[in-house]
Amino acid sequence: MDLIQFWTVCAANGIVLEQEQLAAFDRYARELRYWNERVNLVSRADIEYLYERHFLHSLAPLKYLSIHPRANCIDIGTGAGLPGIPLAIARPDLHMLLIEAVAKKARLVALFASHTGLPNLQVKRARVEELHEAPSYCTAFDFAFARAVASLPTLLSWAQPLLKPTGQLIAYKGGDLSRELHAAQSRFPQARFTVQDIRFHGAPWFEENQKRLVFCRLAPAENS
């Protein structure tokens, strides 16, 4: 999938991108390919499939989830800037904080983010647990995104202190999730989970590989 095919598939699925947004994706792709030769950011087997398997995948929540304007979002364990940078490019109104614990990766992601020119896109090198100790981050976020980072119980333990009472965790997953969902429900009995199969018109790879989104909402506490 090249840039034009990416734009076409996005449009066919209700994700409309303007010319300057396509230019931002193009630059991001070129920089990722360049730096991936020096730092392991994306699987070598996937680097030639950036637009489909990484950028389009990152944008999947925009097809299924209503994200209100100027929502405060956090990308937990962003790695190469995924899904946070694609989401921020497609929705420049969002306030997006990318968290990455590995210093080398965090520096590169900060470089990629700066080249988008988006003022609401920020990168912080930290372990997500460190944010739990900072009052400015606790219960501050409407949405937490996590792509290929950890199990659902672990992700919820990381995200819960950071999310507003009405907030949601969006986890990018695949395959059979029954055991993982059971473990998460046992650990967080108040949580509500919705599993969404990812289907993109014009991109059958997602169905063929059983790619899914898990929307996790922690029910408000009693008497809240």
pLDDT at 223: 40
d(CA 79, CA 182): 27
* Nearest by Cα to 221 from 180, 188, 195: 188
Burial group, residue 176, by CB count within 10 angstroms (0-12, 13-18, 19+): exposed
pLDDT, tens digit, 9 for 90 and up, residues 147-196: 989 999 999 999 999 999 999 999 999 999 999 999 999 999 999 999 99
pLDDT at 210: 97
CB atoms < 10 A from the CB of 209, how many?
13
This model's pTM is above 0.85: yes
β-strands 163-174, 191-197: how paired?
Answer: unpaired
β-strands 211-218, 163-174: how paired?
Answer: antiparallel
pLDDT at 30: 96
Domains of the chain: 3-218 (3.40.50.150)
pLDDT under 70 in the chain at which residues?
219-224
Coil, helix or strand for 213? strand
